[in-house]
Structure 1
Amino acid sequence: MNTDRATMEPAEDAAPVEMLAALFEAHGWAFEQVSEDEVTVEIPGSWTTYQLRAIWRREDHVLQLLCLPEIRVGDDKRQVAFELLALINEQLWLGHFDVWSQGGMLLYRHGLMLGDEGMLSVDMAQMAIESAVAECDRFYPAFQFVLWGDKAPRAALDAALVDAAGEA
């Protein structure tokens, strides 16, 4: 794939994993290409560092992004976590939060349908990555409030979504 040396970003559409690897490299993020169809990277967010996994499903022409904030939901917190997930997912236009049944890992998941050519543009790649990290950052405090602060799910979500009024 060609890159524009001035911006260090890929200059044209490319295969999804190749495009993401070039984008991660341009940002200086340490990544690992697990296979020709999977790449992982650690991306700094506002609250924590997120592990992002991108998996290319050739047969479906779908790029699946998984963003993991390294939060595990214990069995004793599953019910309140699922209630919070339902409230949060109502707020989302793209993607959703979920908890893996094996291990209780919290994750944000989004699938991009790339069409028959299966090509990903740099703009689409950048927007998808930024969106995943932004959603994890936006709701991270709500998960903290419920899992470690013992707040009720609605109260935790309301507290997490409060925007500061005025200027400091």
Structure 2
Amino acid sequence: MLDDQWEQLDQDEAPPVDMLAAFFEARGWSVDRVGEDELSVEIKGNWTSYQMRAVWRNEDHVLQILLLPEIRVPDEKKPVIYETLGLINEQLWLGHFDLWSNNNILLFRHATLLGGSGMLGLDQAQTIVDLAIEEWERFYPVFQFVLWSDKSPQDAIEHAMVDTAGEA
């Protein structure tokens, strides 16, 4: 059945919310339809679990993906987190990290303009979802170092972004 879903998805484009719901289900993720144009799904990453929200704005043909771990920033850490966000976002080509001011939650956000048809293909859905997860997985340790180890943003990035050669 799973192969049939992938084959069906691979051949078609679909409205973004429908494509993403099928894509999430094909990956074995439990999908919650928040509304007609919004989905929510829990994703287990290497560092933590994330809530992914997909929001479709039909009037603009824009699909927005939000990926949120449960990281709340204490008020006294906001200045250093804003500095960290600036340094990280300089390195990104697509999407950006942000801090929601109403609840102090860190998130990754990416919006995609789908053009006149407003349809989403499987390759594009997979790329958008994987991008958000990969960026959080890559930068999660940076936020950990800044928030809980009191490292400076520069030191946190330097320590977290060390590429290892080979396998242990």
Residues 98-157 of structure 1 show CA distances to partners (whole Å, capped at 9, x for unaligned) of 000101000000001000110000110011000000000000000000001110110001
**Matched residue, 1:134:** 134
CA–CA distance in structure 1, aligned partners of residues 3 and 140 of structure 2: 35
Long gaps (5+) in structure 1 = none
Q: Which amino acid aligns with 1:131?
A: L
CA–CA distance in structure 2, aligned partners of residues 6 and 12 of structure 1: 11
Q: Quick check: 127-136 or 156-165, which moved more?
A: 156-165
**Matched residue, 1:75:** 75
More helix by share: 2
Does the aligned pair in 1 maintain the 2:5–2:26 contact within 8 Å? no
Does the aligned pair in 2 maintain the 1:9–1:23 contact within 8 Å? no
Q: Percent identity?
A: 58
The DSSP-based 3-state class of the residue aligned with 1:54 is: strand
**Matched residue, 1:48:** 48
1:147 lines up with 2:144 in the alignment? no
The DSSP-based 3-state class of the residue aligned with 2:162 is: coil
The DSSP-based 3-state class of the residue aligned with 1:5 is: helix
Q: How many residues align?
A: 166
CA–CA distance in structure 1, aligned partners of residues 18 and 133 of structure 2: 20
Q: Which amino acid aligns with 1:38?
A: E
| Cα shift at 1:46 | 1.2
TM-score norm. by structure 2 comes to 0.95
CA–CA distance in structure 1, aligned partners of residues 116 and 47 of structure 2: 37
CA–CA distance in structure 1, aligned partners of residues 5 and 37 of structure 2: 28
CA–CA distance in structure 2, aligned partners of residues 136 and 96 of structure 1: 10
Q: Which amino acid aligns with 1:5?
A: D
TM-score norm. by structure 1 comes to 0.95
Does the aligned pair in 2 maintain the 1:37–1:57 contact within 8 Å? yes
1:163 lines up with 2:166 in the alignment? no
- Compared CA separation, residues 112 and 157, structure 1 to 2 (3 A): same
Q: Cα RMSD between the aligned structures?
A: 1.4
